[in-house]
Copies of this chain bind each other. A is one copy, B any other.
């Protein structure tokens, strides 16, 4: 078995004043979270930053040094507030260029005369970047180093993610078990901590669920995650035993 398999990590940087003003509800982080998990990549951080060069540059540079992959969402359209390409180029210290292939795609997409200067902005990528296909609205994203620059519109973000998924080298997937029961988490917290201490290689989270409105706690879901299936199953059985000792029959998965 020799040698720990490498843990592969990621971060999502959401770019856009519309998220921070509450105008638009963010959903790309959740999408990336689910898909990355399936691919054996651990999403360890998310950031939401405004449409300002300094904010984008700082987030991209902090995250690309810390994580294996960085996915940005938003700010790659044709208008003046779409400054992600400029900011990512600045973060890498390279100039922007009009990518010939990106330009050709836009030329094929638009009616003659419609590819104006603003739309041509969408063909600009940092020197050294490679394009990310956009099967929905043509204008591509790009990858530079370990940073994947993608659109904010959810359908396009998702399509771009699927375009690059084969480029992502995942580590061993985190397996998970969810055990739920109608027991207040505070009643089993001590025993649960005991399981966590015995299984430091299993990540154990406790999530209460409520009757509508958050009023009365009805019970909790215990989520266990680990790379090693046997360890995971043993820890899960320990959690079931804790619930049974409280006279509660545990359910597999979230409550019905």
Contact = CB atoms under 8 A, between A and B. Distances in A.
Contact of A185 (B33, B55, B79): B79
A4 interface: no
B18 A153 contact: no
Contacts of A27: 25
Interface string A152-194: 0111100100000000000000001000000001110110110
Nearest to A52: B44
Interface in A38-63: 42-51, 55
A123 interface: no
Interface in A184-214: 185-187, 189-190, 192-193, 196, 203-208, 210, 213-214
A11 B190 CA distance: 33
Contacts of A117: 190
Interface of A is mostly: mixed
Given A77-B206, A214-B155, A49 B45 contact: yes
A154 B48 CA distance: 19
A interface bracket (residues with beta carbon within 8 Å of B): 35 or more
Interface string A120-159: 0100000000000000110000000000000001111001
Nearest to A35: B22
Contact of A153 (B45, B50, B156, B208): B208
23 contacts: A18-B205, A19-B46, A20-B42, A20-B44, A20-B45, A21-B43, A22-B30, A22-B33, A22-B43, A44-B50, A77-B186, A78-B185, A78-B186, A79-B206, A81-B196, A116-B187, A116-B190, A117-B190, A118-B193, A137-B215, A153-B214, A155-B215, A156-B214
